[in-house]
Amino acid sequence: MAKVQLLGDKADGYQLTVDGEPFFIKGAGLEFGHLKSLAEAGGNAFRTWRVANGERDAIDILDEAEALGLKVCMGLDIARERHGFDYYDQEAVIAQNEAMMLDVIRLKDHPALLMWGLGNELNLRAKNDGVWDAMEDLAVRIKQVDPDHPVTTMLAGVDEPTVTAIAQRAPSLDFLSFQIYGEIDHLPEILEKVGYDGPYQITEWGPTGHWESPETDWGRPFEPSSTQKANDIIRRYEEIILADIKRCLGAYIFLWGQKQERTPTWYGMFLETGERTAAVDVMQKAWTGDWPIHQAPQIQSLRLNAEEAPTSIEGAVNQVFHAEVHATESDDHLISWRVREEVPTALQSDGGDFEPTPPTVEAVIGTQNRQFNFQLSEPGQYRLFCQIDTPHDSSAVANIPFLIKAEPQKRTRFFNLFRRSAA
């Protein structure tokens, strides 16, 4: 078992130690996969959202983490009010906490365990502050059986009502964990505004979120390219995360893997087929000081009908569209194109919940590698994806949304057969 402590104070700053040695979190949101690649890139920790995902159990993932020299922020999957859990129902709360304690007792002595994470974004659209009473009860019970690992909770953003409620109702939490994307650029000002001066870790961060991005005229967000994301990520790591050495205990970039959320490429640092993007490269550079031998390609621009994001691009059915990508040149790069439907509005995920991957549309009429011509026969909202692959399992991706309208009906001219006669 590893003994993990939070040391320090407001005057001198805070620090995590593992068996007496300083430990700054170089982490990723990972869940149950890509552990080896994280360790190879210089990461030292990862977080999960639950103790089992139906395929692997926490013991299995902890054992692998230990073999790779990684520590685990173990997530306990606390029910969310926005999913229908009633924190006024004390019997349900007690039953939930008792179930959580079974996992705590089962896992607490594993040497790869770093800390406990109570729930994920329990504050998101929550109205009942009783959730923090429940977290206080659980935190107290955890500390009674496991005094050697800190306890925290992961919050969606940083807001004063939540910070105040937790301070008043869940003081046994050791520190707060924030999940923040584009707004991380203003984190120092936000923390000062809400009055939080304690230690913290950032348990989700990375590219600018889809809810923060500019949108088309019909309400679809513009996704930054993998190159733009990597540039934002390294800047935010150096200017925000590393800059607050007195309070920030480290951070977990999101996501060391792949998921569908508005698009299949927005948050994942890897693609559906396993290739890494430039986000992995910049984190390896940040964590180790060294770039990978073969870096992912860079995309300078993606144009559709000579327009770039954030321009709202519209066309008609059967119209020929022309796309062009400008990227780093190499003879061994393979460029591919794909058109997908947008996620139906009714199926858009909330708070990172499951979202179906939109289908690919047959649209090709001709391709010239860096250029791509296509047309669509059905009106709707679509997104054009460009992917550049290398022989070294790395890729660059960019996309742009567009709208196809139905062909306008031909207007028939009617002449006035009943003209007034001249006066």
Alpha helices by DSSP H, 247-293: 278-288
Q: Does some domain include residue 267?
A: yes
Same domain, 156 and 120: yes
The stretch 59-85 carries a mean pLDDT of: 96
- Provide the CATH number for the domain around residue 177: 3.20.20.80
**Res. 417: pLDDT tops 60:** no
Q: Provide the residue range defining the domain that includes 303.
A: 299-405
Could you tell me which residue, 212 or 347, shows the higher pLDDT? 212
Same domain, 36 and 92: yes
Q: Does some domain include residue 129?
A: yes
Q: Does some domain include residue 179?
A: yes
Q: What is the pLDDT of residue 368?
A: 74
Same domain, 156 and 135: yes
Q: What is the pLDDT of residue 413?
A: 44
**β-sheet with 21-22: strand ranges across:** 4-9, 13-18, 21-22
| Phi, psi angles (nearest 5°) of residue 383 | -145, 130
- Provide the CATH number for the domain around residue 328: 2.60.40.10
- Do 342 and 385 contact (CB within 8 A), yes or no? no
| Phi, psi angles (nearest 5°) of residue 96 | -65, -50
Half-sphere exposure at residue 396, Cβ-oriented, CA atoms within 13 angstroms: 27
Q: What is the pLDDT of residue 348?
A: 81
**Res. 416: pLDDT tops 60:** no
Q: Among 169-183, 281-295, 330-344, 346-360, which stretch is predicted with the lowest mean pLDDT?
A: 346-360
Measured CA to CA, the distance from residue 316 to residue 376 in angstroms comes to: 8
Same domain, 283 and 343: no
**β-sheet with 380-389: strand ranges across:** 313-316, 395-405, 380-389, 334-341, 360-361
Same domain, 206 and 123: yes
- Do 181 and 203 contact (CB within 8 A), yes or no? no
Q: Does some domain include residue 17?
A: yes
Q: Does some domain include residue 60?
A: yes
* Residue pointed to by tokens 């509005």: 345
Q: Name the strand (E) or helix (H) holding 142.
A: helix 130-145
The stretch 219-239 carries a mean pLDDT of: 98
Same domain, 361 and 222: no
Same domain, 374 and 308: yes
In the structure, what pLDDT confidence band is assigned to residue 34 with cuts at 50, 70 and 90? confident
Q: Does some domain include residue 130?
A: yes
Query: Which of 311-347 are b and which e, b meaning 16 or more Cβ less than 10 Å from the residue's Cβ?
Result: bbbebeeeeebebebebeeeeebebebbbbebbeeee
Per the structure, the count of domains in the chain is 2
Same domain, 161 and 306: no
Closest CA to 159 of 121, 128, 213: 121
In the structure, what pLDDT confidence band is assigned to residue 408 with cuts at 50, 70 and 90? low
**Res. 164: pLDDT tops 50:** yes
The stretch 121-144 carries a mean pLDDT of: 97
Measured CA to CA, the distance from residue 4 to residue 142 in angstroms comes to: 14
Tokens describing residue 27? 């982490």
Same domain, 134 and 258: yes
Measured CA to CA, the distance from residue 286 to residue 140 in angstroms comes to: 36
**Res. 410: pLDDT tops 60:** no
pTM for the whole thing?
0.93
Measured CA to CA, the distance from residue 75 to residue 81 in angstroms comes to: 17
Measured CA to CA, the distance from residue 221 to residue 383 in angstroms comes to: 10
Task: From residue 193, give the alpha-carbon distance in Å to each of 47, 177, 190.
Answer: 28, 17, 5
Q: What is the pLDDT of residue 353?
A: 85
Same domain, 197 and 73: yes
Q: What is the pLDDT of residue 411?
A: 46
Measured CA to CA, the distance from residue 177 to residue 120 in angstroms comes to: 10
Same domain, 29 and 178: yes
Same domain, 279 and 319: no
Q: Does some domain include residue 415?
A: no
In the structure, what pLDDT confidence band is assigned to residue 141 with cuts at 50, 70 and 90? very high
The stretch 406-418 carries a mean pLDDT of: 50
Boundary (domain end) residue, out of 268, 288, 308: 288
Beta strands in 20-77 (DSSP E): 21-22, 25-29, 45-47, 71-76
In the structure, what pLDDT confidence band is assigned to residue 421 with cuts at 50, 70 and 90? very low
Boundary (domain end) residue, out of 259, 288, 317: 288
**R_g over Cα of the chain:** 25
**Res. 261: pLDDT tops 90:** yes
Measured CA to CA, the distance from residue 34 to residue 12 in angstroms comes to: 36
Q: Among 51-60, 85-94, 265-274, which stretch is predicted with the lowest mean pLDDT?
A: 51-60
> pLDDT tens, 380-397?
999 999 999 999 999 999
Q: Does some domain include residue 339?
A: yes
- Beta bridge pairs of residue 322: 373
Boundary (domain end) residue, out of 244, 264, 288: 288
